[in-house]
Structure 1
């Protein structure tokens, strides 16, 4: 199917009903704990904008987490790819605003316009003290490898990046590129909040160091979540060379 193909209208309708229903079912039947509560409280009590970063495989239960930020507008970066249409339809009922585009992979020339528009939207939101959720390995991976966009957004906005992991005890790990973690109802779950990461460097070397710091922190909190819920941690995809590596 072409990359910019439109999603099936019937499928979109099903997701618009079934997605929120499933998320709410899991939410209301799951006993959830928060590890790193002090970091969570720091986000909740801050009047400054903040970035919450999580891997693409854990996006489903990051949606109801939005409801904890009462009084703050919350944004998700959603790709312009067909998959982004499906995600947007599934979570639009949870009072989440969307910036469509991708600031994640600067090598994709055809994404520049959408990425620039999304970047401006998110920078404005962060300056106004709002929250932004990003999947640094989305929309197509490699799995659990942080792309440059989240560090760039943090540097330009001055907002801290808070890595968040999630896992539930009863879950189906899908055979997808990201090993999607599909939580099941009537179980236990946990969020793991890491410390906020400041990105202040300007040189390519400093930005790469920040990117790697965010990646390591995200893998760490996700590993804790998996192990707490009795799962073997999902391993990051094999490293792919980027221009910075060459």
Structure 2
């Protein structure tokens, strides 16, 4: 192994990179949050649900950058899951800078460890935020785990999305929305209303999975429509 590769793979160098990157990203998120005008719907309902106990909040991965600034934490702690890659560790570090918890999921035995961790946290009263299609996609294709965990824990499920007038779509697998400051923004929380019994027939589970994926996409579309309406109202006549 070359010296340059050894340096790049050094734990100290990786840790330094995670620290610096998370500091820059968190600072950018705070700048975008503070300099933009936001319209928010559904947050009161999410807060009211968290006042009674933990919730599961699910988002499409494309909406994950601004989520740390928008998660409802008024009535309790929110934690998330991330993989142990440098990108995953950076994401977790950003979330911690906003007061959120984050658990790294190892590559080996990750599914079992994640299930144990998520259910343990929910049963202890800690809410959990999850990407429905993350961390590697395909985009807007709902994974089984978020729905299975919500059913097993028996807690309310909310979907989240944001949109901004000046957000850029990155050339990533999820076309992630990259926020820009001095924008008009919208935040949407919606309670997922389908019943989620622990035991379900395969056909019923497929229907609920499709409904949840639809609710996630509709939340994104609602946020985008809110920003568009605001832009139309402010356009010169």
TM interval, short-chain normalised:
0.7 to 0.9
Return structure 1 stretches of 4+ with deviation > 6 angstroms.
none
* Structure 1: gaps of 5 or more residues: 103-110, 232-246
Structure-to-structure mapping, 1:43-192, within 5 angstroms = 43-44=49-50, 46-66=51-71, 68-101=72-105, 111=107, 113-192=109-188
Paired residues of 2:18 and 2:86 also in contact (CA < 8 A): no
How far 1:37 moved relative to its partner?
A: 4.8
Larger Rg over CA atoms: 2
How far 1:185 moved relative to its partner?
A: 0.8
> For residue 21 of structure 1, what is the aligned residue in structure 2?
27
CA distance 1:17–1:82, shift in 2 (3 Å)? closer
Match of 2:196 among 181, 195, 199: 199
More helix by share: 2
Paired residues of 2:19 and 2:90 also in contact (CA < 8 A): no
Paired residues of 1:99 and 1:122 also in contact (CA < 8 A): no
CA distance 1:79–1:9, shift in 2 (3 Å)? closer
How far 1:95 moved relative to its partner?
A: 1.4
Q: Deviations over 1:71-122 (max 9, x none)?
A: 41111111233321121122221111112228xxxxxxxx561221221121
* 3-state SS, counterpart of residue 53 of structure 2: coil
Paired residues of 2:159 and 2:192 also in contact (CA < 8 A): yes
How far 1:11 moved relative to its partner?
A: 3.0
Q: Tell me which moved more, 204-213 or 136-145.
A: 204-213
* 3-state SS, counterpart of residue 63 of structure 1: helix
Q: RMSD value over aligned CA atoms?
A: 2.3
Q: TM-score, normalised by structure 1?
A: 0.80
Residues in 1 aligned to 2:150 and 2:47: alpha-carbon distance in whole angstroms = 20
Q: Tell me which moved more, 7-16 or 89-98.
A: 7-16
* Structure 2: gaps of 5 or more residues: 230-237
Residues in 1 aligned to 2:19 and 2:102: alpha-carbon distance in whole angstroms = 19
Paired residues of 1:163 and 1:193 also in contact (CA < 8 A): yes
* 3-state SS, counterpart of residue 229 of structure 1: helix
* 3-state SS, counterpart of residue 146 of structure 2: helix
> For residue 220 of structure 2, what is the aligned residue in structure 1?
222
How far 1:220 moved relative to its partner?
A: 0.6
